[in-house]
Amino acid sequence: MSIPALFEMNERVAIVTGAVGLLGVKHCEALASVGAHVVCLDVQATEAAMLAADLTARFSTRCLGIACDITQPAQVKTACAQVMREFGRVDALINNARSGYSKKELVGLEEFDVQIVRRDFIVQVEGAFNCAQQFGAQMAKQGRGSIVNICSTYGVVAPNFQIYADEPVKFASPISYSIAKSALIGLTNYLASYWGSSGVRANLLTPGGIRAESRQSQTFLDKYNARVPLGRMAQPTEMQGAIVFLCSDASSYMTGANLIVDGGWTAW
């Protein structure tokens, strides 16, 4: 097989949770661009359907939007059944969904509400488990597949709170986020071991900070950029190559691994 062919996903079916989010959309675009039938899972039904229609038109590969609350096992089971009716197979699962935070929730550890910890765990960890249980089991029956859990550098190392000190919301990276992302590492290793003999691979993609112009002050950017060897935050498109690599045959002998794409943040 040629090197370019290793990255092709023609006629393969890729599930992306949290599909209409900042990175979710980019993951979907990347997979559709290499020929995959992308299934956009999100609680926002209209937006998921619109994204799927846009991908179908732009990349000439049939994509599907499905409204699904991944914290509800019955809804995930129904979504999996719909995918099987539509496409007859599952080749990749990207567990990308996460919770958002209101400003009043972003407080220090001493005041942090344990209910938010539980909510984050339910969405990011239980949600990933629910999806792996359904879609991963289907891959195991097929004898091949790739699960990619989206982690974060804050699941690998602690936040550097100095970069948030001058922000209007000081604790912009809540403890619940770090707990949930850390738990995904254990889940991924378990899946890699459990399904390895069935040909199902499970890996982590760990992005560093992503540039989102409407959310980040120049003061924050200056502090963050000074902490990164490459001197800047990532653009949302800079995870696309890694997603295609992990979902395609290009990473066929890679499982239980954590691909960190952070500009060197965790290197020092």
What are 223-258's pLDDT values in tens digits?
999 999 999 999 999 999 999 999 999 999 999 999
pLDDT, one tens digit per residue, over 7-46 is: 999 999 999 999 999 999 999 999 999 999 999 999 999 9
Is 259 within 8 Å of 246 (Cβ atoms)?
yes
pLDDT of amino acid 172? 67
| Whole-number Å distance between alpha carbons of 28 and 64 | 11
For residue 175, how many C-alpha atoms fall within 13 Å in the half-sphere facing its CB?
12
pLDDT, one tens digit per residue, over 198-210 is: 999 999 999 999 9
pLDDT band at 161 (very low <50, low <70, confident <90, very high): confident
- Rounded to whole angstroms, the maximal C-alpha distance in the chain is 56
pLDDT of amino acid 216? 83
83's enclosing H/E stretch is: helix 73-87
Is 163 within 8 Å of 223 (Cβ atoms)?
yes
Spell out a b/e string for 204-229, using b for 16 or more CB atoms within 10 Å of the CB, else e. Answer: bbbbbbbbeeeebeeebbebbbebbe
pLDDT band at 139 (very low <50, low <70, confident <90, very high): very high
Q: Which domains does the chain possess?
A: 3-102+118-156+175-210+239-260 (3.40.50.720)
pLDDT band at 217 (very low <50, low <70, confident <90, very high): confident
pLDDT band at 162 (very low <50, low <70, confident <90, very high): confident
Quick one: tokens of 92? 């990749």
pTM score above 0.85: yes
Q: What is residue 38's three-state secondary structure?
A: strand
The order of strands in the sheet holding 200-207 is 64-67, 37-42, 13-17, 92-95, 145-150, 200-207, 258-261
**Angle between the 22-33 and 240-247 helix axes, to the nearest 10 degrees?**
60
pLDDT of amino acid 108? 85
Q: Give me the residue label for tokens 């020092």.
A: 268
Is 210 within 8 Å of 236 (Cβ atoms)?
yes
Is 127 within 8 Å of 147 (Cβ atoms)?
no
pLDDT band at 214 (very low <50, low <70, confident <90, very high): confident
Percent of the chain residues past pLDDT 70, beyond the cut: 98
pLDDT band at 170 (very low <50, low <70, confident <90, very high): low
- Name which of 161, 213, 204 is nearest 186 in CA terms: 204
Query: For 42, which DSSP code?
Result: E
Query: For 28, which DSSP code?
Result: H
Judged on CB neighbours under 10 Å (0-12, 13-18, 19+), 231 is exposed
Q: Read out DSSP for 179-231?
A: HHHHHHHHHHHHHHHHHGGGTEEEEEEEE--B--TTT--HHHHHHHHHHSTTS
pLDDT of amino acid 237? 97
pLDDT, one tens digit per residue, over 105-136 is: 888 889 999 999 999 999 999 999 999 999 99
Indicate which residues carry an active-site annotation.
177
pLDDT, one tens digit per residue, over 65-106 is: 999 999 999 999 999 999 999 999 999 999 999 988 888 888
Q: What is residue 145's three-state secondary structure?
A: strand
